[in-house]
Amino acid sequence: MRKLLLTTTAIAFVCSAAAPAFAEFNERNIRVSNGINADHPVGNGIKAMQACLDDKSGGKLKLTAFWGGALGGDLQATQALRSGVQEAVVTSSSPLVGIVPALGVFDLPFLFANADEAYKVLDGDFGDQMNKKLEEAGLVNLAYWENGFRNLSNSVHPVNKWEDFAGMKVRVMQNNIFLDTFQNLGANATPMAFGEVFSALETKAIDAQENPYVTIDTSKFYEVQKYVTETNHAYTPFLFLFSKPIFDTYSADEQAALRDCAMVGRDEERKVIQDLNKKSLEKIKAAGIEVNTLSPEEQARIREKSMVVYDKHKAEIGADVVDGILAKLAEIRK
């Protein structure tokens, strides 16, 4: 009996030691849906991710990116993942709160003070907790990529204080926390899918929208806007989501390669964003847009006025989730 056990152990050992030689990779074409355009830093991230996948899979795992909402908007593409008809999407967390309410925590105004804080929270335990909730909803988040700090653009007048929002028709994402944040500031907030924003700004159906500089640049919103205010009112992460029903059919090697390489892509994307953020701002200014910054007093005033939104949405996000992130941030800020 003992001899048999030893033999079995020896065989198991030989097999596991030999495993890398038999790494299992199949030809996979992975469609990655994007609402933003190919010149957004997500494009750089996807290139870096592909190079990593080529290395690991000998060219078997192939990403094909679709841009400008060609495969549908964020929410539509995400639903296609859940039902297993599409592989992947890079989306803001915000339009997905109907699927995973806890994600609303990232929409709370002025939550993160800088990108480093966001990285620590997203790439650590707290990010993992959110990933678990996403998995329960049929979505595997391979990594948190960057969308960035959001700023306001509009076509009517400079915004230097919260009273300047009065009556302004601001497009917000399909997300109640953003809706309340802007309504609370006096704006006429209008939820709308990202794909409709450019033409709604162009036809003046709406006056304003809010997105990071790189999006105002690469989605050409600056062509149909006159003023920008650096509000930095929210940092909404990108999720690199994979369809769980499809992911579950992949081999362990394929799954591990996708997770590892999504992190390689994330690091590249975040790096490029840091740089492009400045260049995009210059480009927006050069296009004749008036760019304003808020005084520290006004920033503090807007922030304070916005805190009601935390209480209002705490129950729906989950009190444990809100308290959890605030505790984590307090720890980071120590």
Q: How far is CA 232 from the centre of its chain?
A: 15
HSE-CB for 49 with a 13 A CA cutoff: 30
Question: Between residues 126 and 149, which has the closer beta carbon with respect to ligand TF8?
Answer: 149
Pairing of strands 227-230, 290-293: parallel
| Amino acid (one-letter) located at 262 | A
Residue 243: which H helix or E strand, with range?
A: strand 235-243
Residues contacting residue 79 through CB under 8 Å, at least 6 positions apart: none
Q: Which residue in 215, 243, 280, 306 binds ligand TF8 (CB under 6 A)? A: 215
Q: Which residue in 44, 155, 184, 211 binds ligand TF8 (CB under 6 A)? A: 211
Question: Between residues 57 and 86, which has the closer beta carbon with respect to ligand TF8?
Answer: 86
State the minimum distance, in angstroms, from the CB of residue 192 to ligand TF8.
8
Question: Between residues 45 and 56, which has the closer beta carbon with respect to ligand TF8?
Answer: 45
Question: Between residues 177 and 257, which has the closer beta carbon with respect to ligand TF8?
Answer: 177
Rounded Cα distance, 236 and 246, in Å: 26
CA distances from 204 to 171, 225, 304 (A): 11, 10, 31
Site string (150-179) toward ligand TF8, x via CB under 6 A: -----------------------x------
State which of positions 63-122 bind ligand TF8 (CB under 6 A): 74, 91-92
Q: Which stretch binds ligand TF8 (CB under 6 A): 30-38, 156-164, 290-298, 304-312?
A: 30-38
Would you count residue 41 as binding ligand TF8 (CB under 6 A)? no
* Residue 137, both tokens: 């909803």
Alpha helices, H only, the chain:
2-18, 41-57, 74-82, 115-122, 125-136, 176-184, 197-202, 213-218, 244-247, 252-286, 296-306, 308-317, 319-333
Q: Which stretch binds ligand TF8 (CB under 6 A): 24-32, 33-41, 122-130, 251-259?
A: 33-41
Site string (185-204) toward ligand TF8, x via CB under 6 A: ---------x----------
Q: Which residue in 31, 35, 240, 325 binds ligand TF8 (CB under 6 A)? A: 35
Question: Between residues 173 and 201, which has the closer beta carbon with respect to ligand TF8?
Answer: 173
Q: Which residue in 32, 36, 48, 96 binds ligand TF8 (CB under 6 A)? A: 36
Would you count residue 45 as binding ligand TF8 (CB under 6 A)? no
Rounded Cα distance, 299 and 296, in Å: 5
Strands of 235-243's sheet in order across: 61-66, 28-34, 88-92, 235-243, 139-149
DSSP letters, 59-104, are T-EEEEEE-TTTT--HHHHHHHHHTTS--EEEEESGGGTTT-GGGG
Question: Between residues 194 and 247, which has the closer beta carbon with respect to ligand TF8?
Answer: 194
# binding residues, ligand TF8 (CB under 6 A): 11
Question: Between residues 91 and 176, which has the closer beta carbon with respect to ligand TF8?
Answer: 91
Judged by the rule CB under 6 A, the positions of this chain that interact with ligand TF8 are 34-36, 74, 91-92, 147, 173, 194, 211, 215
